[in-house]
């Protein structure tokens, strides 16, 4: 497929007139062709106009039609073959196997959403039939279903150029819900974005859907991204990225004449609690496993284990020794972009220069540019509690061990943590009593709680929660991974006393779609 370097507005390829950008290969520093033309407010307005035109037609398509569309997007992405993987490798520095795995995850995710909407599960139909004889007042006939919110703006993430970018989780869940999507492509991987965008364009045409169901715009976040979030047609936003970028866009979403939901995934430390029983039993193994999780993908995961909490003991010293050995042998890896590499260098230097922090171990010097040297720091609980700078995310393979004097001090540290995507407990049976004390606290802090696992690796399934209290996300009630992500882009509507002929199919007595429903409080 030919890369055009243009915006994809509906079915068209359109050249932007706000300058150009080139992708850069982070492994070599080489500039990649073609130049990508950048859009502005006019392009945002055009994409929004098309999305608004498409909305009512698209949202009212039978679920089976939207499911077919998602399945065809997956097939079109697969049909891109090696071209997609080669371009993504050049733009991100990520290895082939990782990107092939990510492509599979992206397509499986689209297919999972397709299966989910066909079952009607997300619609949560509820019916309370008329009760004309009820006293003192009869009850009206009340029927609830969920409808799509409206056109959605998606900000592709840099760290998942496929699974959380143009056709990633936010796009898949919004399209599944019945919302047209306008993607603000991430500036670090425009070619990968365009290839996937062209695959979606083809699927739109193949399914005879209105062209405005999908658009892809390149441009500066502060200009084109801000204009997109502010545009009155947009009814919700999905974002994964930095806390600063997320907050800037969230403020725009909230300051609109009509404020809209902003689903941002921002930053997390993902604490791992090394409980005494587990440390005494397997300190060496835990040290090795920790470094494997920390250094996976150069640590560029939102669920990277950036914080370790443990009580002082000889077993903890053994863990530190084992982790340090593994870390010193962990080769430096290319980071996603020069910008992310600079941010990593800045944040780790800031922690390394903190007088209350000790650098325990560091990976070998890097031979190529934009590489991430893994690093493990340590500090005391009292220093951690006193200094908010030690609670900042270091995006990359860096982690901070907080040494606590006893159980009470560890509990105090946990209670001072910000919201997190995950909290992990390394434990054995000897730790259960302490774990029982910790669990209610961890539930208030994190969206996912793990036992004897490491937080990297997020399953796409029905039960997954990839969310959590601020600043892990901007909306604690939702998840951005898994089928429950659909709910972010739906809203309930209740129909009172509508004649059967006017009711949507899923609300009629005869239940022609055979969806599961709650009728008079009973599941049918």
Closest residue to ligand NAP, judged by C-beta, is: 221
55 or 239: whose CB is closer to ligand NAP? 239
450 or 503: whose CB is closer to ligand NAP? 450
Question: Nearest approach, Cβ of 169 to ligand NAP (angstroms)?
Answer: 12
Given the rule CB under 6 A, which residues bind ligand NAP? 155, 157-159, 184, 186-187, 220-222, 225-226, 240-242, 245, 248-249, 265-267, 302, 339-340, 343, 393, 395
How large is the greatest C-alpha to C-alpha distance in the chain, in angstroms? Answer: 81
Tokens found for residue 460: 């796409």
Question: Nearest approach, Cβ of 303 to ligand NAP (angstroms)?
Answer: 8
67 or 421: whose CB is closer to ligand NAP? 421
Q: Of 211, 265, 409, 506, which residue is the catalytic one?
A: 265
249 or 327: whose CB is closer to ligand NAP? 249
The H or E element containing residue 175 is: helix 169-177
206 or 345: whose CB is closer to ligand NAP? 345
What phi, psi does 108 have (nearest 5°)? -60, -35
| DSSP string of 422-463, one letter each residue | EEEEE--GGGHHHHHHHHHHHHHHEEEEEESS-S-----SSS
339 or 369: whose CB is closer to ligand NAP? 339
Q: Does residue 302 have an active-site annotation?
A: yes
Tokens found for residue 104: 């599979």
CA dihedral 371, 376, 381, 385 (to 10 degrees): 0
Which residues does residue 441 pair with via DSSP β-bridges, in sequence order?
none
Which residues does residue 519 pair with via DSSP β-bridges, in sequence order?
127, 522
Strands 20-24 and 236-240: unpaired
181 or 438: whose CB is closer to ligand NAP? 181
* Alpha-carbon separation of residue 99 from 56, 89, 305, 350 (angstroms): 35, 7, 22, 32
Q: How far apart are CA 386 and CA 462, in angstroms?
A: 39
* Alpha-carbon separation of residue 168 from 26, 54, 163, 451 (angstroms): 22, 21, 4, 28
Helix (H, G, I), strand (E, B) or coil at 262: strand
Q: What is the chain's percent helix, strand, coil content, to nearest 5? A: 45, 20, 35
Q: How far apart are CA 333 and CA 339, in angstroms?
A: 15
| CA contacts within 13 A on the Cβ side of 42 | 7
Q: Of 48, 107, 179, 302, which residue is the catalytic one?
A: 302
The H or E element containing residue 361 is: strand 358-362
| 96-119 helix and 169-177 helix, angle to the nearest 10 degrees | 20
Q: Does residue 407 have an active-site annotation?
A: no
Q: How far apart are CA 363 and CA 472, in angstroms?
A: 28
The H or E element containing residue 201 is: helix 190-206
94 or 404: whose CB is closer to ligand NAP? 94
Residues acting as catalytic residues: 265, 302
């Amino acid at each position: 497929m030919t890369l055009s370097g243009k915006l994809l507005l509906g079915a068209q390829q359109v050249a932007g007139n706000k300058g150009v950008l080139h992708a850069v290969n982070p492994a070599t520093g080489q500039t990649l062709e073609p130049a990508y033309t950048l859009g502005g407010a006019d392009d945002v307005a055009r994409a929004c106009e098309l999305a608004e035109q498409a909305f009512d037609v698209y949202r009212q398509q039978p679920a089976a039609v939207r499911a077919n569309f998602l399945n065809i997007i997956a097939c079109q992405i697969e049909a891109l073959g090696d071209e997609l993987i080669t371009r993504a490798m050049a733009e991100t520095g990520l290895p082939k196997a990782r990107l092939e795995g990510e492509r599979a995850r992206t397509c499986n995710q689209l297919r999972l959403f397709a299966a989910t909407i066909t079952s009607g599960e997300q619609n949560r139909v509820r019916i309370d039939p008329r009760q004309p004889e009820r006293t003192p007042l009869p009850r009206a006939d009340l029927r609830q279903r969920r409808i799509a919110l409206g056109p959605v703006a998606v900000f592709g993430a840099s760290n998942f150029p496929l699974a959380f970018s143009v056709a990633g989780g936010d796009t898949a869940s919004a399209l599944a819900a019945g919302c047209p999507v306008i993607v603000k492509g991430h500036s670090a991987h425009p070619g990968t974005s365009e290839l996937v965008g062209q695959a979606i364009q083809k699927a739109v045409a193949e399914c005879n859907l209105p062209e405005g169901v999908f658009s892809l715009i390149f441009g500066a976040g502060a200009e084109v991204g801000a204009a997109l979030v502010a545009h009155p047609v947009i009814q919700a936003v999905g974002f994964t990225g930095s806390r600063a970028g997320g907050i800037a866009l969230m403020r725009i979403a909230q300051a609109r004449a009509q404020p809209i939901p902003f689903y941002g995934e921002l930053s997390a430390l993902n604490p791992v609690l090394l409980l005494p029983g587990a440390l005494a039993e397997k300190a060496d193994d835990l040290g090795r496993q920790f470094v494997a999780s920390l250094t996976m993908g150069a640590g560029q995961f939102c669920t990277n284990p950036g914080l370790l909490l443990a009580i002082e003991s000889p077993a903890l010293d053994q863990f530190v020794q084992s982790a340090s050995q593994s870390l010193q042998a962990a080769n430096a890896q290319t980071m996603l972009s020069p910008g992310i590499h600079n941010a990593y260098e800045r944040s780790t230097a800031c922690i390394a220069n903190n007088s209350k922090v000790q650098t325990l171990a560091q990976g070998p010097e890097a031979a190529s540019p934009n590489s991430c040297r893994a690093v493990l720091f340590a500090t005391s609980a009292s220093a951690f509690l006193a200094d908010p700078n030690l609670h900042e995310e270091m995006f990359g393979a860096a982690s901070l061990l907080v040494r606590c004097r006893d159980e009470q001090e560890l509990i105090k540290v946990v209670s001072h943590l910000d919201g997190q995507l995950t909290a992990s407990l390394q434990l054995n049976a000897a730790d259960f009593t302490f774990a029982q004390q910790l669990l209610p606290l961890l539930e208030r802090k994190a969206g996912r709680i793990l036992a004897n696992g490491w937080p990297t690796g997020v399953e796409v399934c029905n039960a997954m929660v990839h969310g959590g209290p601020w600043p892990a996300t901007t909306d604690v009630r939702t998840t951005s991974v898994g089928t429950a992500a659909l709910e972010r882009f739906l809203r309930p509507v209740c129909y009172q006393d509508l004649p059967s002929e006017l009711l949507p199919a899923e609300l009629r007595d005869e239940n022609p779609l055979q969806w599961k429903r709650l009728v008079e409080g009973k599941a049918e």
